[in-house]
Amino acid sequence: MAGWKDYIRRVEPYTPGEQPKQSNIIKLNTNENPYGPSPVVCQVRENMDDLRLYPDPSAGMLVESLARYHGVDADQVFVGVGSDDVLAMAFLTFFNSDKAVLFPDISYSFYPVWAELFRIPYEKQPLDASFRLVKEDYYKENGGVVFPNPNAPTGIYEPLDFIEDILQHNPDSVVIIDEAYIDFAGESALSLLADHDNLLVVRTFSKSRSMAGLRIGYAIGNPELILAMNDVKYSYNSYTMNRPSLILGTKVLEDEAYFQSVIRKIITTREWFGNRLKELGFTFPESGSNFIFATHKTVPARELFDAAKEHGIYIRYFDQPRIDNYLRITIGTDEEMQRLVDFFEEYLK
């Protein structure tokens, strides 16, 4: 065999949810927002001639707008190509010791992939029987801590005193809180930044702001953390954020009313849909996100997943220990959720 084959970096990649090509399906498998982004994006008249120019490598206009929006300084904000890019840069920047990075066994499945790719040692910490994080597991010596709040795919939100406890026990590690779904839950860990210089909060425009297609994510932390992340980013690819994303991302931050109304609609739908699921014999932990992680008392998840797909409704199934009898169902419009309820009702008869 040719020698160069020995030098290829072999990795087991992250598997994203299916993006089917057909248009006549109900897509509840990748936690996208069923509503469009704020209509203010239509007011933007991008000068196409400007596309010949490189974008601002510092993503200045979006960084400034996010800083103003969150009431922090611009040097506390890092912007990247979706929170996946922001998290990858954070792993590369902060998880740089021989000690294991800690994250839950049931969590965002990209974390072990980045750890493998960047050769970062890691140790998964088991969630308890009701899928809660066990805070004492994060008291030991480590090379960093990362978890989503609310967690994915469970949807469970941990209150701020839980996060604060983890921060207090980890003064020597960077603690990354991945808040991809926080807008559907409760208080953000941003309020803890003032007292914890080791905290990095990561956010995205993909879920609550209905902009998964633009790829905008950001992190907020103390200026020293942000500077270190930017140094790594500029050592890798300076122009990560394209011009349209910078302009449209900045624009939607002006429309708070629309943003709040979409979140309210999704939470309302989540509540009635959850009640219907219970009536149909499903159980699930209380969700603080735009999805519900449910199991049925008699019918296997895999079977329901296949049958729903056959029926044109895509939900998410994870063939993984501990969660292989669960379905992760994104909250769509009322009409879409009604169609799924009707399908379950018929199927479970």
Give the binding site for ligand PMP (CB under 6 A): 82-84, 108, 148, 152, 178, 180, 204, 206, 212, 217
Instruction: For the CB of residue 43, give the shortest distance to ligand PMP in the complex, in Å.
Output: 24
Give 179-203 as a DSSP string.
-TTGGGSS--GGGGGGG-TTEEEEE
Give 255-299 as a DSSP string.
-HHHHHHHHHHHHHHHHHHHHHHHHTTEE-PPP-SSEEEEEESSS
Residue with smaller CB distance to ligand PMP, 65 or 154: 154
Non-local (6+) Cβ contacts of 66 within 8 A are 77, 79, 218, 220, 253
Residue with smaller CB distance to ligand PMP, 84 or 158: 84
Distance CA 330, CA 26 (A): 10
Instruction: For the CB of residue 148, give the shortest distance to ligand PMP in the complex, in Å.
Output: 4
In contact, 295 and 306? CB cutoff 8 Å: no
Q: Is 99 left (phi over 0), alpha (psi -120 to 50) or beta?
A: beta
Distance CA 155, CA 272 (A): 16
Instruction: For the CB of residue 216, give the shortest distance to ligand PMP in the complex, in Å.
Output: 7
Distance CA 231, CA 4 (A): 31
Instruction: For the CB of residue 71, give the shortest distance to ligand PMP in the complex, in Å.
Output: 22
Instruction: For the CB of residue 347, give the shortest distance to ligand PMP in the complex, in Å.
Output: 27
Residue with smaller CB distance to ligand PMP, 204 or 230: 204
Residue with smaller CB distance to ligand PMP, 93 or 296: 93
Structure tokens belonging to residue 104: 């839950």
User: Dihedral of CA 307/310/311/312: which sign?
Assistant: positive
Instruction: For the CB of residue 212, give the shortest distance to ligand PMP in the complex, in Å.
Output: 5
Straight-line distance from the first to the last Cα atom of the chain, in angstroms, rounded to the nearest whole number:
57
Q: How many residues does the chain have?
A: 349
Instruction: For the CB of residue 256, give the shortest distance to ligand PMP in the complex, in Å.
Output: 20
Other C-beta atoms lying within 10 Å of the C-beta of residue 189: 23
Residue with smaller CB distance to ligand PMP, 198 or 245: 245
Among 339, 314, 345, which residue's Cα sits nearest to residue 25? 314
Structure tokens belonging to residue 204: 């995205």
Among 313, 246, 301, which residue's Cα sits nearest to residue 56? 246
| 327-330 vs 291-296, strand pairing mode | antiparallel
Instruction: For the CB of residue 83, give the shortest distance to ligand PMP in the complex, in Å.
Output: 3
Instruction: For the CB of residue 160, give the shortest distance to ligand PMP in the complex, in Å.
Output: 18
